[in-house]
Structure 1
Amino acid sequence: MGNLDFGVVRQAFPYLLEGMGLTISLTLLAAILGLAFGIVLALMRLSSFRVISAPAATYVNVMRSIPLLLVIFWFYFLVPYVGAWLIGATQPIQVGALRSVIVGFTLFEAAYFCEIVRAGIQSIPRGQVSAAYALGLNYRQAMTSVVLPQAIRNMIPSLLTRTIIIFQDTSLVYVVALTDFLGAATKIGQRDGRLTELYLFVAVVYLVVCFLASRSVKRLELRTLRAR
């Protein structure tokens, strides 16, 4: 421990800050896009028509059964060749690492957000839906005006918890050579021979951020329970 030199953290701080910017951007994009797609999947799963609910259920079950790392690999390495085959090109299409990661995270996280949204919708008493129909509202109006506003309040703690998990999972983007917070620490540590110091600093940052975020979610959950 006496050989540790944390001065390298101070020197690398601008580069680490840039990596954290990418980490936060990916977290927000994956959460927003994944939630949007997840809502669509949840509504499909709740449909009474088997032809609509079955594909959504299959998608969710498949995505929740495979690692996120594999999804990123598939999109980054396979989609360029599949796209070239579909359009008849002789060379793989250019997808790019950042686009691959965003799409991969969105497709993967949508399956988890789908189940959160579905549970939130099902937590609303059926009597309220019946009352909305009795007032002359159609299915879309009942969902947007009656069900979803109440369901979102119930879902917020779970949605935020999933967002914290996404924040942690962004470290997987190293497989496509993107420089996130952990990736920046790794590159600088390898260059300067100070991996231990930088990894300790990264671990502390992740611990503090995730702990504070988890405590905030817990407080929000308690307030939501009291509001009920």
Structure 2
Amino acid sequence: MATLDFSFYTWANISNYLLSGLYFSVALTIAATVGGIALGTIIALMRLSNIKPLEYIATWYVNVFRSVPLVMVILWFFLLVPSGFYDLFPGGSGQKYRAEICALITFVVFEAAFFSEIVRAGIQSLPRGQTNAGQALGMTYAQNMRYIILPQAIRNMLPVFLTQTIVLFQDTSLVYAIGAYDILKGFEIMGNTFGRRIETYLLAAVVYFIISFFLSMLVKKLNQKIRIVR
């Protein structure tokens, strides 16, 4: 039976192999969350607009992306998008960071389908009287959503948003499939360098657990505060 050895796990090696990967994983999570919520809100409003073409497009979008594994979408985008697309980025950065750009675009597009359902459910959870009150004041649909509906709905949706963000952070490990340098890739390189792959994958699991557990505790506390406000 092999003996586990973690002596290679020093701050110098963490700095050399893991920090840049952790930075990318966190940055991808934050950017995909912000972009996914923004795009998801638009899609949710399209589904609630009662304009049939917009409603149909939004429904199709959500159903397609919620029915396909994320790793397949990542691979499709990485393999099918022409390399000329990456030449649009200045200074040759597009080709240099092709995997990272692919990961960001894919995550925003994919997560928007899930965030849109959260937004739609949050809006529909509010009493119909809120919308009627805005209409009685002479507000347009856009004004009603901006000043009355969305501020209340977003407060109710925050815990669910953060829960989805935790799932998103865990899913960032899938960019490993296209060679992006995330934290899992950093662990793999460190394991190959020191010949300790078992130890590095165990450590990777611990890191993902600690971060996800910490964030889940924040969600729990936030949910308790929102209940008190209600």
State TM-score, norm by structure 1: 0.91
Alignment: residue pair count: 220
Shift of 1:226: 2.1
The equivalent position to 1:152 in structure 2, one of 137, 154, 167, is 154
**Map of 1:2-151 to 2, 5 A cutoff?**
3-10=3-10, 11-14=12-15, 15-80=17-82, 96-151=98-153
Q: Aligned residues: percent identity?
A: 47
Secondary structure in 1 aligned to 2:155? helix
Structure 2 stretches of 5 or more lacking a match? 87-93
Q: Identify the residue that residue 221 of structure 1 maps to in structure 2.
A: 223
Quick one: structure 1 residues 83 and 25, their matched pair in 2 at CA, closer, same or farther if it must change by over 3 Å? closer
Distance 1:199 1:96 in 2: 26
Distance 2:13 2:190 in 1: 7
Shift of 1:100: 0.9
Q: Identify the residue that residue 90 of structure 1 maps to in structure 2.
A: none
The equivalent position to 1:161 in structure 2, one of 154, 163, 184, is 163
> Which of 215-224 and 130-139 deviates more?
215-224
Structure 1 stretches of 5 or more lacking a match? 85-92
Paired amino acid for 1:4: L
State TM-score, norm by structure 2: 0.91
Shift of 1:36: 0.5
Q: Identify the residue that residue 195 of structure 1 maps to in structure 2.
A: 197
Secondary structure in 2 aligned to 1:186? helix
Shift of 1:200: 1.4
Quick one: structure 1 residues 82 and 71, their matched pair in 2 at CA, closer, same or farther if it must change by over 3 Å? farther
Quick one: structure 1 residues 198 and 118, their matched pair in 2 at CA, closer, same or farther if it must change by over 3 Å? same
Distance 1:181 1:54 in 2: 39
Distance 1:174 1:205 in 2: 16
CA distances 1:127-156 after superposition (whole Å, capped 9, x unpaired)? 111111111111111100000000000000
The equivalent position to 1:184 in structure 2, one of 186, 193, 204, is 186
Distance 2:30 2:47 in 1: 25
Distance 2:2 2:84 in 1: 53
Task: Supply the RMSD in Å over aligned alpha carbons.
Answer: 1.9
Shift of 1:83: 6.5
Shift of 1:2: 7.1
Paired amino acid for 1:129: T
